[in-house]
Amino acid sequence: MKITDIELLQYRWERGSPIRNGMHTYTHSGLNLARIHTDDGVTGIGWAHKPQTTGMALVSQGLLEHFKPLLIGQDPFNYRRIWQALWSPKLVGRRGIATRFISGIDIALWDLMGKATGKSAHQLLGGFRDRVPAYIAGGYYEEGKGLAGLAAEMEANLELGAKAVKMKIGGAPIKEDVERVRVARETIGADVQLMVDANCAYSLREAIQIAERMEPYDIFWFEEPLAPDDYRGHGILARSTSIPIATGENEYTRYGFRDLIANDAAAIYNADAQILGGITEFMNVAALASAHELHIAPHGDQEVHLHLVGAISNGLIVEFYRETVDANRGQIFEEKMTLDEDGCLTVPDRPGLGVTPNYDFLERYRIN
């Protein structure tokens, strides 16, 4: 089997109601869909960063032309050889959009290998467990939402079977955010896990201050409190609070996670295969974390990470997005995922990633 071509299908749409976290406002969402074709007629799909601006979409097209000659003619099962060829020598940057684009290619390779063998990505990677705990991500700031809107969202999460939920902080004064955390905790009750995510909004002083004030509300983790490269600050914060620190959503490759771990930056690492370099590099990061008795709780799409958390012994929980993050979220793929009565997701046993893009729905949002 040889790779004959790779194409990029780009889709972008308005969210309708913009959402805001501790640092950024998001008006659009989308999908950068990589499709790798082979001479056996098997096609793998993968995706990574979203083309939230037309500029990013143009960059992705340029990266496609850069990487295509390194892929065509290769055996897709030589995924480590391919990964190294794409990443080194690295003429287009060791981090950022380039490595995210490599992530999408690598994810497509694993989908392709699964389809070629009739195995799910989960099975190819080791198949540690078939059901994985999940948390519903959300709790964004929105115009007119307020405390009542936050409580209503949390109640809806519970109706969907959530046993864990995550909300945003860092986009309001500390006193106001602590009140939002209190409302969320009182709404979901004592038996549901509550995570908070600052998206790098705080200084070390601010993070220590709000962590102390959130401790009475039994926070499961405090995610991305500081700038991604502040490894030392994460370590100081981790030692100052009883709340477990989680980070790594914006980290790249095993080398970045090596440095995070060396600084005792967190107890939980939010490695994202769509960012750090794909499934291949995710498994390297998971093994590194396992050697230090650390948990992996990925950031990012459940369609990819459900397979990965289910394949590793130190997988903690998977992130689950619903329409509160993106109104089109339930329409992107033909297959649907739902939480069971325990708040878990069942890993698909279909070949590859086990999902099919809903091309008919997506076509109206196609970027030409």
| pLDDT tens profile 45-89 | 999 877 666 677 778 888 899 999 999 999 999 999 999 999 987
pLDDT grade, residue 93 (50/70/90)? confident
Provide CB contacts within 8 A for 368, sequence distance 6+.
none
353 vs 347: CA distance, rounded Å: 10
- Work out the number of other CB atoms within 10 angstroms of the CB of residue 146: 13
Supply the angle between the helices 231-240 and 253-262 in degrees, to the nearest 10. Answer: 40
Q: What domains appear along the chain, each with residue ranges and CATH number?
A: 3-118 (3.30.390.10), 123-346 (3.20.20.120)
Contact predicate 64/105, CB 8 Å: no
pTM over 0.75: yes
Among 125-139, 162-176, 239-253, 314-328, the least confident range: 314-328
60 vs 31: CA distance, rounded Å: 11
User: What residues does 33 pair with on adjacent strands?
Assistant: 9, 47
What is residue 94's predicted lDDT score, i.e. its pLDDT?
83
Is the pLDDT confidence value at 226 over 90? Answer: yes
What is residue 323's predicted lDDT score, i.e. its pLDDT?
87
pLDDT (tens digit, 9 = 90+) per residue, 256-266? 999 999 999 99
Is the pLDDT confidence value at 110 over 70? Answer: yes
First to last CA, the chain: 30
What is residue 325's predicted lDDT score, i.e. its pLDDT?
85
Calculate Rg over the CA atoms of the chain.
20
329 vs 171: CA distance, rounded Å: 24
Tokens representing residue 292 in the block: 């230090």
Tell me which of 273 and 96 has the higher pLDDT.
273
- Average pLDDT, integer, range 135-145: 96
What is residue 17's predicted lDDT score, i.e. its pLDDT?
86
Q: Which SS3 state, helix, strand or coil, does residue 128 take?
A: coil
pLDDT (tens digit, 9 = 90+) per residue, 34-45? 999 999 999 999
166 vs 47: CA distance, rounded Å: 24
Is the pLDDT confidence value at 191 over 80? Answer: yes
What is residue 92's predicted lDDT score, i.e. its pLDDT?
76
What is residue 51's predicted lDDT score, i.e. its pLDDT?
66
Backbone φ and ψ for 79, nearest 5 degrees, come out as -65, -30
Contact predicate 320/339, CB 8 Å: yes
Contact predicate 60/97, CB 8 Å: yes
- Report CA-CA distances (Å) from 73 to 1, 18, 92, 105, 179: 9, 43, 22, 15, 57
- Helix spans in the chain (H): 54-71, 79-87, 96-117, 121-124, 146-159, 174-188, 204-214, 231-240, 253-262, 273-276, 279-291, 302-309, 359-362
pLDDT (tens digit, 9 = 90+) per residue, 286-320? 999 999 999 999 999 999 999 999 999 999 999 99
347 vs 130: CA distance, rounded Å: 5
What is residue 88's predicted lDDT score, i.e. its pLDDT?
83
- Report CA-CA distances (Å) from 321 to 58, 79, 121, 173: 27, 29, 20, 26
136 vs 339: CA distance, rounded Å: 10
Provide CB contacts within 8 A for 364, sequence distance 6+.
none
